[in-house]
Structure 1
Amino acid sequence: MVKMKEIKANSRLNIDGTLVGDTKQGETLVKDISSFLMDSNISDSEASKVAYGVRVSKNAVSEGQQGGLFFGVSTLNAGSINNEYYFTRGHYHEKLDTGEYYWGISGEGLLLLHYPDDTETITRVSPGSVLYIPGKVAHRLINIGKSKLAVGAVWQSISGHAYSQTNLFRMHILVDDIKDYRVIEEEK
């Protein structure tokens, strides 16, 4: 006879995208992404606003451990700076060839991808959408909605995050009163 033992989950994902329980959290302020904006001039009051947060479920896996996975949720606030929607810094993985899955939980947004051949694509993120990010591709989330954007993610524990001091992306997503957004692309 097999003896069963029920183990309580260490964290819980609520329907609104809030990850609670045994988690670790980080926040990024507008001042931390201002150098990636088309117009980086921001006021002190704008600089201190939270652009987005990331909450990761704690597990027995450590960064760099072979065979492990991490689970987290990025939550981007609604809003814009100098007419450019809030976005995540964006990154490559330190182990460049590792992929990642994103899925939309709540809100409306875009996933901006920058490929090795210097092309970029945008894909809509909405509740229920499942998006695969291949290895060697930089990725950034943008909130184009009127409410918080919550996006779940699963990535390998060996992936790591390589954040650049310069903007990895040429596309900027701006507020447009007629359509959801408009895209401005910087010259190469």
Structure 2
Amino acid sequence: MKVNKVPTELLRDGHLKGAFTTGETNLSAINDWLLNPSDLDTNPEIYSVQVADNNIEDGQPGGLFFGVSRIAPGNVHGEFYFTKGHFHKKIDTGEYYWGISGSGLLLLGDTDGNERLLAVEPGAVLYIPGKTAHRLINIGQGTLAVGAVWQSESGHAYSKNGNLFKTHVLKDASSIGYKVIQDQ
């Protein structure tokens, strides 16, 4: 029997090689959700998501997607860069994240508005239950790379009327290097 080469590989630095698609998100896409928005003289890329191409369509039942999110280091007026964050369209579906490189936080929010933070470091395995919004925040000085597996029928439900979260994470001189502020 012949052994075939796999179409997609995960490299040690958190990049995919081979068959994948990439989506990129710039500052303008999250600017209105910042505690103190930027004046947008520049519009840097904040994060990218690479998804392995497995010939499964979004919304197709029974499949899984595999991807890697890479969040750049940086901040706007002290607030660390973050992903948009989302619930799943099929709200009761869960997801797994795991830390590949960098240092970050996973912000989780339930449908009642309760929020909590989990540390994301290389090797950390994080389960995101259904009915839970999730956002990655890069609190480190290097790129935060996080792997993910989710059901192909999950979909993504981004907020159309504003930020899903009330929690903001800002640089701080404390021993942990950040402080948490919540909107009222």
Q: Classify the TM-score, shorter chain.
A: over 0.9
2:168 match:
172
* Structure number with bigger Rg: 1
- In the TM superposition, residue 177 of structure 1 has moved relative to its aligned partner by 2.1
Q: Give deviations 1:26-59, integer Å, cap 9, x for gaps.
A: 10001110011011132322xx101000000000
Is 1:118–2:113 an aligned residue pair?
yes
CA distance in 1, matches of 2:166, 2:40: 24
Is 1:109–2:108 an aligned residue pair?
no
2:20 match:
23
- In the TM superposition, residue 73 of structure 1 has moved relative to its aligned partner by 0.1
CA distance in 2, matches of 1:42, 1:142: 21
CA distance in 1, matches of 2:92, 2:18: 31
* Alignment: residue pair count: 182
Q: Which runs of 4 or more aligned residues in structure 1 lie more than 3 Å from their structure 2 counterparts after TM superposition? A: none
Would you say the 8 A contact 1:133–1:139 is kept in 2?
yes
Would you say the 8 A contact 2:67–2:147 is kept in 1?
yes
Q: What RMSD over aligned residues (CA atoms) do the two structures have, in Å?
A: 0.9
Would you say the 8 A contact 2:106–2:135 is kept in 1?
yes
2:59 to 64, 86, 110: 64
Identity of aligned residues (%): 53
CA distance in 2, matches of 1:22, 1:42: 37
Is 1:41–2:44 an aligned residue pair?
no
Would you say the 8 A contact 2:38–2:76 is kept in 1?
no
Is 1:127–2:122 an aligned residue pair?
yes
Gaps of 5+ in 2: none
- In the TM superposition, residue 62 of structure 1 has moved relative to its aligned partner by 1.2
CA distance in 1, matches of 2:40, 2:88: 32
Residue 171 of structure 2 aligns with an amino acid whose one-letter code is V
Residue 174 of structure 1 aligns with an amino acid whose one-letter code is L
CA distance in 1, matches of 2:49, 2:103: 17
Per the normalisation by structure 2, the TM-score is 0.96
SS in 1 for 2:23: strand
Gaps of 5+ in 1: none
